[in-house]
Structure 1
Amino acid sequence: MSKNFLLQKNCWLLLLLILFACKDKDEVRVLRLGHGLSADHSVHKAMVFMAERLEEKSSGKLQLKIYPSEQLGAERECLEMLQFGSLAMTKVSAAVMESFAEEYKVMGLPYLFESKAHAFKVLDGEIGKEILQSGEKYWLKGLGFYDSGYRSFYTKDRPINTPSDLEGMKVRVMKSNTAIEMVQAMGGSPTPISWGELYTALQSGVVDAAENNPPSFYLSRHYEVCKYYSIDQHTQVPDVFLISQIIWNKLSEEEQQWVQEAADESVERQRVLWEESEQEAMEAVKAAGVEINYPEKSPFQEEVQSVYEDFRENEKLYSLIQRIKAVQ
């Protein structure tokens, strides 16, 4: 056998090894996931769990790289990156999704859900699937709903016992028309401010109050400024876990199945973690000197009926509200 032949043979073997190595490398797809919450939050922990499950299901072919704490931008910025396909996944409040798909508007209605069990039955059922799918035409595919608990008011100078206590008070709200209308109906002055700027806004007096769930109140350290937490539980706005429709379309059916299954499992995990974090947060803010009160809900429920009336003109959304209320 000639030396030239052996040399050619060895070259071909080396080339094949390189090609196979490149093929293995190309088969590993890394999906970037950006969100605005801290690494201590139950949502982030659930996403880490999803990354582990996705890697297991795909034998390492699909991996998640997670960027918490607004490293890649605020919620709206992350959504826009999903629309362009420059970011694979994100988590945003359903309130933020209002600007992209109107079906999400109903999620922010005050006192929409009778209980947490009622909310989960809606979100995990056919209605929830319809709402998640409503963003697909805007390149935002919903994968599931994370628990975000009940939102209540926290204030700097006095507790909120009745809606009249909100009069003359500047209340930070999300950039959501539904949230704005709700606070206006209760007599407050709604002021949309991004989450990352809220601590300074409270501290400097740009706003007098805000509203959110216990873990967010605690992990944001807003309790250092606001010493009153009034548990009126006016809304139960879920968090939405989304993937770019552009990225989704590039995945094979098998890869799509892996992603959806891992997302479903992360939702289950997050809801357990949420309950634990909610209890921990309440205990922590109490220990920090926050005064917690539980106002009667009925006066607040009466004041916000006008928000529901505004939906009568939109037949599709009003019908959706009635369907949600009919779920048993």
Structure 2
Amino acid sequence: MKKRMVMVLMAAMTVSMLSGCGSKGTGAPAAGEARTEAADAGDKKGDDTKTEAPEAVEKVSIKFGNTQGEEDIQTKSLHEVADRLSKASGGGFTAEVYGSSALGDTDDLTEQAMQGAAILTISDPSRLASFVKDYGMLQMPYLLDDYTQLDKIMETDLYAKWEQEFSDQGIWLVTSNWFSGTRNFCLNKEVKKPEDLSGQRIRTIGNELCTSSVDAMGAVATPMSWSEVYTSIQQKALDGAEVQTPSFYATRLWEVCSYINKTEHFQLIGSAVTGTKFRDSLSDEYRELFTDTFKEVGTEYQTKCADLSEQYEKEMVEKYGVTINDDVDVEAFKAATAPVYDKLGYKEVREQLMAEMK
């Protein structure tokens, strides 16, 4: 009897416990709990409504190649462009800089760009004259008084015509206002007048404009790759080079040439060029950013280049014994090169440019 009573009591307690557990686990939640869950659900729904997918950043990459060393003002300018493009695009527009002919010579890079490669190089009017003859006139000796006139050239109708003529051949002429310095005759002797260059084998750019001008100034024009100049002078295959101070310094030519003769015959203009295929692949926004950045850096670095040239010349005089010869009859060199304008057919286009710039 007692045993039966105990079993009944145990069964009753078990049912009671199960009922209590069922009320807590399966019944309706307390009012506070219900409000919390509803609020959580509402918050989650609200978050989903407010969150928007970030806009995709346009991705573009290009390689900048040139023939100059890392210390040259042109290479430094290319690095500046690359940095500004990256910052302005939030990392979407990336450019890698390859100096010292790492990607090839200037003409090779121009051809690659025309074929559609994402490559830009800094050429010059004398090289690009093979595509648009009259444009080459910008590199003629003693055309400009100084670099401050470069930006003005690009405002002329004549320049706009040249841009279109390049585009028709697959070349995007991004800008022509880069300044790499004033070219002088650098060798191991003093040069005051054209006669002093007689018989001197002088490296110059390998096109008719440059060779004709250097020959007219009395030297023996000797085209060759810039990367070969140092060794050629060292081995006396060359007597010197006509070159701007930043490149003279960066290439350490002061180790093999003791004189910089300030003839200042060429204002070396930098022409940033790539292909129209690359241009046409860009959005309007990126195309404008690309063009504006190159032009802005070009203008800013004109003065920097002039200042850097003075700094380099002072250092080379004090540390390396280079002689800066300012005692040059510049008028005699101007007179010697004047006939080259007629010879190459640039007399009329020169007059047109000067008239439009005024």
With structure 1 as the length reference, what TM-score do the two structures score?
A: 0.85
Q: Secondary structure at the match of 2:242?
A: strand
Q: Distance in 2 between matches of 1:216 and 1:123?
A: 25
Counterpart of 2:351 in structure 1 is: 322
RMSD over aligned Cα, in angstroms?
2.1
Counterpart of 2:344 in structure 1 is: 311
Counterpart of 1:296 in structure 2 is: 329
Counterpart of 1:147 in structure 2 is: 179
Q: Secondary structure at the match of 2:185?
A: strand
C-alpha displacement of 1:282: 0.9
* Letter paired with 2:171: L
- Relative to structure 2, which stretch is displaced further, 158-167 or 272-281? 272-281
* Letter paired with 1:310: K
Question: Deviations for 1:36-82, whole angstroms, at most 9, x for unmatched residues?
Answer: 22222222222222222222332322221222221111111111111
Say if 2:95 is the partner of 1:30: no
- After superposition, where does 1:69-218 map in structure 2 within 5 Å? 69-123=100-154, 125-145=156-176, 146-156=178-188, 158-218=189-249
C-alpha displacement of 1:88: 2.6
Q: Distance in 2 between matches of 1:116 and 1:258?
A: 24
CA gap 1:226/1:243 in 2 versus in 1, 3 angstroms: same
Q: Distance in 2 between matches of 1:235 and 1:132?
A: 22
CA contact (8 A) 2:110 2:274 kept: no
Q: Secondary structure at the match of 2:231?
A: helix
- Relative to structure 2, which stretch is displaced further, 266-275 or 181-190? 266-275
CA contact (8 A) 1:112 1:325 kept: no
C-alpha displacement of 1:195: 0.6
Q: Distance in 2 between matches of 1:130 and 1:285?
A: 42
CA contact (8 A) 1:172 1:190 kept: yes
CA contact (8 A) 1:45 1:270 kept: no
C-alpha displacement of 1:134: 3.4
CA contact (8 A) 2:187 2:240 kept: yes
With structure 2 as the length reference, what TM-score do the two structures score?
A: 0.78
Aligned residues: 302
C-alpha displacement of 1:164: 0.5
CA contact (8 A) 1:78 1:87 kept: no
Q: Distance in 1 between matches of 2:155 and 2:255?
A: 36
Alignment partner for residue 308 of structure 2, among 277, 283, 297? 277
CA gap 1:132/1:218 in 2 versus in 1, 3 angstroms: farther
- After superposition, where does 1:237-252 map in structure 2 within 5 Å? 237-252=268-283
Unaligned residue ranges in structure 1 (runs of 5+): 1-19
Sequence identity of aligned pairs in percent? 23
Say if 2:74 is the partner of 1:48: no
C-alpha displacement of 1:108: 2.2
Instruction: Please tell me whether Structure 1 or Structure 2 has the larger radius of gyration of its CA atoms.
Output: 2
